[in-house]
């Protein structure tokens, strides 16, 4: 099985005619994602062409839901318009919003998170690589070829990560060791975001085809410590973790807006200690994540 997306997911792209939106929509279509349309104000009634396929472009998300039954949106809209795009998708009844855009103001995201939560809409991102259920559906910028779909009798992991590139590294190491992935979710590194570790851990815990979970965190905030408490209390499947930014100096932001140590909290050391105290296998290096997963699955 998978979480969040599968072969029946009907995706649109908000911003499909932009350079990045167009490129990654083509990649999603090539992977096999059921792309049913795009949404670009002012370009409704036109089409998006790729590999002999013609995808309609709508003036609004409302049209996309009404005419083609869209239930997921991939957003490649500039940062100053991204909040409105996400809320429009939620208003239209789209159940999953994958917000790829980076640089969205934090106050905008506070507004978006509250708005989508009130409507029961799941949000992945922002500033994230998206979500993929290997062999079924890819929404976002993840390189599809490195993923290994589950097969009958295979041992499978779910992957949750604040870091895009470390998501790919963990996937590659698992695939090289013949470990398949049910779903991989890049949750993004911003301080205010959608689905978090705890929510996704619960979804993987309920998925019978996911046998272990890889959780990749980084410095900043307390999400990993909270996840460690939740794992100790509620999660019965083995969890492998890695924390990025172990050599980062306090007070300096490291890449992601949320990756900053301040007020004496959010350090790699505090996160690693919390994870280990919860009985979680913590990899000392990104190069050994795959080895830890092999141990966990034994």
Q: Which of 20, 11, 19 is nearest to 39 (CA)?
A: 11
What's the distance, Cα to Cα, between the start and end of the chain in Å? 21
**Is 211 marked active-site?**
no
Residue burial 175-202, b: 16+ Cβ < 10 Å; e: rest: beeebbbbbbbbbbbbbbbbbbbbebbe
What does the alpha-carbon distance between residue 201 and residue 196 come to, in Å, rounded to a whole number? 9
- Which of 24, 211, 230, 256 is an active site residue? 256
Taking the C-alpha atoms of 159, 160, 164 and 165 in order, what is their torsion angle to the nearest 10 degrees? -40
SS3 292: helix
The catalytic residue positions are 256
């Amino acid at each position: 099985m998978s979480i969040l997306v599968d072969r029946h997911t009907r995706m649109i792209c908000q911003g499909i005619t932009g350079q990045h939106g167009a490129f990654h929509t083509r990649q999603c279509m090539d992977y096999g994602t059921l792309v049913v349309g795009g949404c670009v104000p002012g370009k409704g009634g036109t089409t998006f062409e790729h590999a002999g396929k013609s995808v309609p472009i709508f003036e609004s998300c409302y049209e996309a839901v009404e005419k083609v039954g869209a239930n997921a949106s991939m957003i490649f809209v500039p940062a100053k318009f991204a909040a409105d795009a996400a809320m429009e998708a939620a208003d239209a009844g789209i159940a999953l919003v994958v917000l790829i855009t980076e640089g969205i103001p934090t106050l905008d995201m506070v507004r978006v998170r509250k708005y989508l939560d009130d409507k029961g809409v799941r949000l992945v991102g922002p500033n994230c690589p998206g979500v993929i259920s290997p062999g079924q559906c890819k929404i976002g910028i993840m390189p599809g070829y490195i993923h290994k779909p589950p097969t009958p009798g295979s041992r499978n992991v779910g992957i949750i990560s604040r870091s895009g590139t470390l998501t790919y590294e963990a996937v590659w190491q698992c695939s090289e060791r013949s470990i398949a992935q049910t779903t991989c979710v890049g949750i993004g590194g911003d301080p205010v975001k959608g689905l978090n570790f705890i929510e996704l851990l619960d979804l993987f815990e309920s998925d019978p085809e996911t046998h272990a979970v890889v959780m990749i965190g980084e410095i900043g905030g307390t999400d990993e410590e909270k996840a460690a408490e939740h794992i100790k209390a509620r999660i019965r499947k083995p969890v492998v973790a890695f924390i990025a930014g172990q050599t980062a100096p306090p007070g300096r932001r490291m890449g992601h807006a949320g990756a900053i140590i301040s007020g004496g909290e959010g350090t790699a050391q505090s996160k690693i200690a919390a994870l280990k105290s919860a009985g979680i296998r913590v990899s000392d290096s990104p190069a050994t994540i795959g080895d830890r997963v092999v141990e966990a699955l034994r």
